[in-house]
Amino acid sequence: MALFLHPFLKYKIMKALVYYGPRDVRISEMPDAKIEEPTDVLVKITTTNICGSDLHMYEGRTDMEKGRIFGHENLGVVVEIGKAVSQIKKGDMVCMPFNIGCGHCKNCEAGLTGFCLTMNPDPKMAGAAYGFAGMGPYSGGQAEYLRVPYGDFNCLKLPDDAIEKETDYVMLSDIFPTGYHATELAGVKPGDSVVIYGAGPVGLMAAHSAAIKGASKIMVVDNHPDRLKLAEEMGAIAIDFSKTSAVDQVLELTKGNGADRGCECVGYQCCDKHGAEHSNATMNELVQAVKATGSIGVVGVFVKKDPKSKEELQKKGHMDFDFGTFWMKGQRMATGQANVKAYNRQLCELISSGKANPSRIISHELALDEAPEAYKHFDARDKGWTKVILKPGKAAKKADKKHQKEHSSAD
């Protein structure tokens, strides 16, 4: 859709959320995003989300460089286009996949845009993303403006109800397609029983996707009551592993057979009921909870190395995986980040038609200025902090502005 815009004024600086070190993110003035290549599009960000994957960097568990702008879940209005852009126009409301693809390499042509072969300058790494460690030099969108490379390819133009359903459509940038990808990797079909480890945003979107696909029974495993309540509201069976064994509960619900399909939506920082990290916990439990010949889809983030882990294997990106049981049960597994463009247009149609409403998981809608405090709460998994969206154009509460001023002065 096209929106009426006042003449675009170029500023030398913009506000953005910047990483300065572990658990130290601040709203700072950064150089204005701008058109750098003829194929670029410049977007004024109207909604950007905090993702669970951002927390790995926020906590200092990755090699994220200081001075980088966070944010890979972005939506906004096009305010400038490069000379070679032909399909996207000024005024279009667009949502960007977190993957940045060139559109013409072997993987992009095959629909594997999460593993683009040209956009990451690291020759050993396939795939690029906004504001993400190891995924190229691209700035994130937790800012007022965002440069989008290959804008015709990477921008999804939104329908006429984009403003009305903006908080739904912004989920197309990552978590809705990623949750759907988990069910695709697991091979979920109508009538299947599905167990999903993790009731965070991606796990909840996997549950939503499994329901859309016609799963007969959806079980969601977590230990946060507020998140499990959301899972129940979405039609899933909540399994609290802090009370009794999640595997035992799944087996009881499936008459001892195990679930037909399993989805891993937590990643390497999964914990036991006491809060201790065990990177292999969800993977090994899925092997036990999924039936013989069943299949498992893994979209939770697992990294090549994790030097700050307390586990020796995990420091090297390895884990103690129960491959023997996995093999004996004849199970299958597929892994990897979502190729968002493979799904976002179809999922967009589901939102527009009213058959999908991913915004139901949003717990907080805040101003960009409130992002540092939001990160603290989201990182602590505080009660009620399920999914946070940030509005760069929204004014922060006065109390929060005062707190941020004091925080900046202390720095």
In a domain, 25, yes or no: yes
Contact 22, 375 (CB under 8 A): no
Phi, psi of 308, deg, nearest 5:
-90, 5
**165: helix, strand or coil:** coil
Q: Which amino acid is at 56?
A: H
Q: Are residues 164 and 193 in the same domain?
A: no
Show Cβ contacts of residue 317 under 8 Å, excluding neighbours closer than 6 positions.
302, 303, 304, 305, 306
Pair of tokens at residue 303: 């990294």
Assigned token pair, 47:
């909604």
Q: How far is CA 67 from CA 27, 173, 326, 390, 391, in A?
A: 11, 23, 43, 20, 21
Whether 6 is in a domain gets the answer: no
| pLDDT digits (tens), the chain, 411 positions | 444 344 444 447 999 999 999 999 999 999 999 999 999 999 999 999 999 999 999 999 888 999 999 999 999 999 999 999 999 999 999 999 999 999 999 999 999 999 999 999 999 999 999 999 999 999 999 999 999 999 999 999 999 999 999 999 999 999 999 999 999 999 999 999 999 999 999 999 999 999 999 999 999 999 999 999 999 999 999 999 999 999 999 999 999 999 999 999 999 888 888 788 888 999 999 999 999 999 999 999 998 888 878 888 888 888 999 999 999 999 999 999 999 999 999 999 999 999 999 999 999 999 999 999 999 999 999 999 999 999 998 887 653 443 344 333 333
Same domain, 137 and 250: no
- Residue 203 and residue 267 in contact, taking contact as beta carbons nearer than 8 Å: no
Same domain, 271 and 312: yes
Phi, psi of 165 (to 5 degrees): -115, 30
Chosen domain end from 317, 335, 353: 335
Are 261 and 389 found together in one domain?
no
Q: Which residues on adjacent β-strands are paired with residue 237? A: 219
Residues 169 and 184 in one domain: no
Query: Does residue 7 lie in a domain region?
Result: no
Q: Partners of 25 in the beta sheet?
A: 19
Please give the tally of structural domains in the chain: 2
Q: Residue 145's pLDDT is what?
A: 98
Residue 329 and residue 345 share a domain: no
Residue 400, token pair as written in the block = 């929060």
- Cβ-contact 51, 174 below 8 angstroms: yes
CATH number at residue 391: 3.90.180.10
Supply the range of the domain harboring residue 183.
175-335
Residue 8 is assigned to a structural domain of this protein: no
Residues 205 and 326 in one domain: yes
β-partners of residue 263 are 196, 297
Q: What are phi and psi of 113, to 5 degrees?
A: -70, -20
Q: Are 127 and 117 in contact (CB under 8 A)?
A: no
Nearest Cα neighbor of 44 from 94, 82, 88, 4 is 94
Rounded Cα–Cα distance for residues 108 and 341 (Å): 9
Is 221 part of any domain?
Answer: yes
**What pLDDT, on the 0 to 100 scale, is given for residue 245?**
96
Indicate if 22 and 142 belong to the same structural domain. Answer: yes
Asked if 217 and 94 sit in the same domain, the reply is no
pLDDT, residue 403, reads 35
For residues 156 and 285, state if they share a domain.
no
Rounded distance, CA 130 to CA 133, Å? 9
Q: Phi/psi at 25 (nearest 5 deg)?
A: -120, 140
Q: Are residues 307 and 350 in the same domain?
A: no
CATH number at residue 329: 3.40.50.720
Residue 102 one-letter amino acid: C
- d(Cα 341, Cα 167) in Å, to the nearest integer? 19
In a domain, 2, yes or no: no
* Overall pTM surpassing 0.85 (yes/no): yes
Quick one: pLDDT at residue 406? 37
Of the candidates 300, 335, 370, which is a domain's last residue?
335
**Which of 292, 307, 335 is the last residue in one of the domains?**
335
Which residue spans within 207-363 are E strands per DSSP?
217-222, 237-240, 259-264, 290-298, 332-335
| Residue 1 belongs to some domain of the structure | no
Contact indicator for 78, 88 with CB cutoff of 8 Å: yes
CA separation, residue 341 to residues 61, 67, 116, 295 (Å): 28, 29, 12, 24
Tokens encoding 294:
């069943």
Q: Do 243 and 152 share a structural domain?
A: no
For the chain, the first-to-last Cα distance in angstroms comes to: 43
Is 218 among the domain residues? yes
Assigned token pair, 224: 């946060």
Amino acid at site 44 = K
Residue 178 tokens read as: 């990623």
